[in-house]
């Protein structure tokens, strides 16, 4: 076992300050055991913890760092912006720079509004949908996450097309009742819900590539079906592209599948590692937002110049020819040999991916499209694998339900090294758990 004593000590101190010692729950390592690593620095695909251990990082700050850590052009833009001050509460040029980088290259958007997180983006997008339609109910899907907004911390009620119940203490049932939670990949459930709540549903919100409860890749035909039913019923189709946006291609899942949602929500990559979220749509729909229209939404630090500068630098790199093809190639170089190795050894293990987002499933299923298809018991394999990988200098986010990310900074050598470490870690996971 690597020495993690400095991290463990820092965690003891942090527990005196923060609930569970952390400022976001999954960081606490509860599902894999042990204490979290305190990371001191990152460069390219590498991170170093407080004990000086070096890791090849596949968490990448949970997705924002598509260029890896400390990319020179992001760092330079941040310095340029910071040299002029950090926040003014006025418009700045940097907002135009990031907006034009996006809007000139994303054909599914005409107007955008910057906020400070993915949660805020999804929350504001839903308010917009309600404001535009004058309706209040929303449909979300079991297995999709849209941030910690009250109305979205909701789980399915007792039957199909029943109203949701809150999945967190502190969320009033009255809010949860405005949310209908449906299983993914089930057309009939959607048909029934829109029939039962005719003219009451403002919005269907979906992660078009659900990546918060495993990677539940949807059939594009199902997404097209959602597009059609929303058009038919006057419902706003919201694509939450907080993970998939600028990740599976510059135009995200909308571009990958060629589907025009009514509203899109973004976070993560858009801010280059700084706190940025955004939502966008057609000019007509966005004109409902204040000060142009009656849907109120504001933010003291919205469009923060330092964060805008970071996002602009990152997205400009993503626009370089071949950027996404190269990421995909690297991701295949990680996945293909591991799938082959698992097959040779008879391990129930698969890796799913869309572009450079990947997920480890301890399963033989060739497709997993809904959260009900994930066996919670399979997570014990992940816990063993995670710790064996840490011992071999590979860092994955500490939960088997979370996806991993390959960045442009990962080198072929680092990926080859990862494959070898993974093979050993798989041997350990399958011999410990099966033996
Ligand atoms: C699809 C999706 N939507 C919304 C959010 C919330 O974003 P944030 O954590 O920036 O508030 C996340 C976060 O992981 C997400 O994956």
Do 136 and 279 reside in the same domain of the chain?
yes
**Residues of the chain with confidence (pLDDT) below 50:** none
With a 6 A CB cut-off, is 213 part of the ligand 1 pocket?
no
Backbone angles phi, psi at 356, to 5 degrees: -95, 15
Do 33 and 97 reside in the same domain of the chain?
no
Do 134 and 24 reside in the same domain of the chain?
no
- Residue 158's pLDDT is 62
Do 205 and 143 reside in the same domain of the chain?
yes
CB count within 10 Å of CB 159 equals 8
Angle at 361 between CA 204 and CA 411, to 5 degrees: 100
Interatomic CA distance for residues 307 and 128, integer angstroms: 24
- Residue 257's pLDDT is 98
Do 287 and 398 reside in the same domain of the chain?
no
Instruction: Check 137, 140, 268, 330 and give the catalytic one.
Output: 268
- Residue 109's pLDDT is 98
Interatomic CA distance for residues 332 and 353, integer angstroms: 9
**Residue of the nearest CA to atom 10 in ligand 1?**
118
Per-residue pLDDT of 272-313, as tens digits, reads 999 999 999 999 999 999 999 999 999 999 999 999 999 999
Mark whether 268 is an active-site residue: yes
Do 28 and 78 reside in the same domain of the chain?
no
CB count within 10 Å of CB 232 equals 9
Q: Give the chain's largest Cα–Cα span.
A: 64
With a 6 A CB cut-off, is 124 part of the ligand 1 pocket?
no
Backbone angles phi, psi at 329, to 5 degrees: -60, -45
Do 409 and 280 reside in the same domain of the chain?
no
Give the domain CATH number at 373: 3.90.1150.10
For residue 53, what are the domain limits?
5-70+321-434
Do 336 and 245 reside in the same domain of the chain?
no
Residues 6 or more apart whose CB falls under 8 angstroms from that of 420 comprise none
**Could you say which of 265, 284, 318 is where a domain stops?**
318
With a 6 A CB cut-off, is 119 part of the ligand 1 pocket?
yes
Do 92 and 221 reside in the same domain of the chain?
yes
Give the domain CATH number at 205: 3.40.640.10
Instruction: Count structural domains, the chain.
Output: 2
- Residue 161's pLDDT is 60
Do 396 and 424 reside in the same domain of the chain?
yes
**Could you say which of 276, 300, 318 is where a domain stops?**
318
**Could you say which of 284, 318, 352 is where a domain stops?**
318
Interatomic CA distance for residues 296 and 209, integer angstroms: 29
Do 37 and 125 reside in the same domain of the chain?
no
Q: Residue 121 belongs to what H/E stretch?
A: helix 118-133
- β-strand pairing of 201-206 with 39-43: unpaired
Do 384 and 346 reside in the same domain of the chain?
yes
Nearest to 356 by CA among 400, 409, 316: 409
With a 6 A CB cut-off, is 95 part of the ligand 1 pocket?
no
Which atom from ligand 1 is nearest to the alpha carbon of 210? 1
């Amino acid at each position: 076992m690597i020495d993690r004593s400095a991290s463990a000590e820092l965690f003891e101190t942090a527990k005196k300050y923060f609930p569970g010692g952390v400022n976001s729950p999954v960081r606490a390592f509860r599902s894999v055991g042990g204490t979290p690593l305190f990371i001191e620095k990152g460069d390219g695909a590498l991170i170093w913890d407080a004990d000086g251990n070096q890791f090849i990082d596949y968490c990448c700050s949970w997705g924002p760092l598509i260029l890896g850590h400390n990319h020179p052009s992001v760092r330079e833009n941040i310095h340029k912006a910071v040299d002029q001050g950090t926040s003014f509460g006025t418009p700045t040029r940097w907002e135009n720079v990031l907006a034009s980088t996006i809007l000139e290259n994303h054909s599914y958007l005409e107007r955008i509004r910057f906020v400070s997180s993915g949660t805020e983006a999804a929350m504001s997008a839903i308010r917009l949908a309600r404001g535009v339609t004058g309706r209040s109910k929303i449909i979300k899907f079991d297995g999709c996450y849209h941030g910690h907004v009250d109305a979205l911390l909701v789980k399915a009620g007792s039957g199909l097309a029943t109203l949701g119940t809150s999945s967190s203490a502190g969320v009033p049932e009255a809010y949860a009742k405005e949310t209908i939670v449906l299983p993914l990949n089930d057309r009939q459930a959607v048909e029934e819900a829109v029939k039962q709540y005719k003219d009451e549903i403002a919005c269907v919100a979906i992660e078009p590539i659900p990546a918060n409860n495993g990677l539940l890749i949807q059939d594009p035909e199902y997404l097209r079906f959602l597009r059609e039913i929303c058009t038919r019923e006057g419902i706003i189709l919201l694509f939450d592209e907080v993970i998939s946006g600028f990740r599976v291609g510059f135009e995200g899942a909308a571009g990958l599948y060629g589907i025009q949602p009514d509203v899109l929500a973004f976070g993560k990559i858009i801010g280059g590692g700084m706190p940025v979220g955004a939502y966008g749509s057609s000019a007509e729909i966005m004109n409902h937002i204040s000060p142009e229209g009656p849907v109120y939404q504001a933010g003291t630090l919205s469009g923060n110049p330092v964060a805008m500068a970071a996002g602009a630098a990152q997205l400009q790199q993503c626009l370089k020819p071949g950027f996404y093809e190269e990421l995909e190639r690297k991701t295949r170089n990680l996945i293909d040999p591991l799938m082959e190795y698992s097959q040779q050894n008879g391990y129930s293990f698969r890796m799913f991916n869309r572009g450079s987002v990947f997920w480890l499933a301890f399963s033989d299923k060739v497709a997993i499209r809904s959260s009900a298809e994930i066996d919670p018991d399979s997570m014990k394999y992940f816990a063993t694998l995670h710790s064996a990988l840490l011992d071999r200098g590979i860092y994955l986010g500490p939960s088997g339900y979370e996806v991993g990310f390959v960045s442009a900074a990962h080198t072929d050598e680092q990926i080859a090294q990862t494959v070898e470490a993974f093979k050993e870690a798989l041997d350990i996971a399958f011999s410990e758990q099966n033996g």
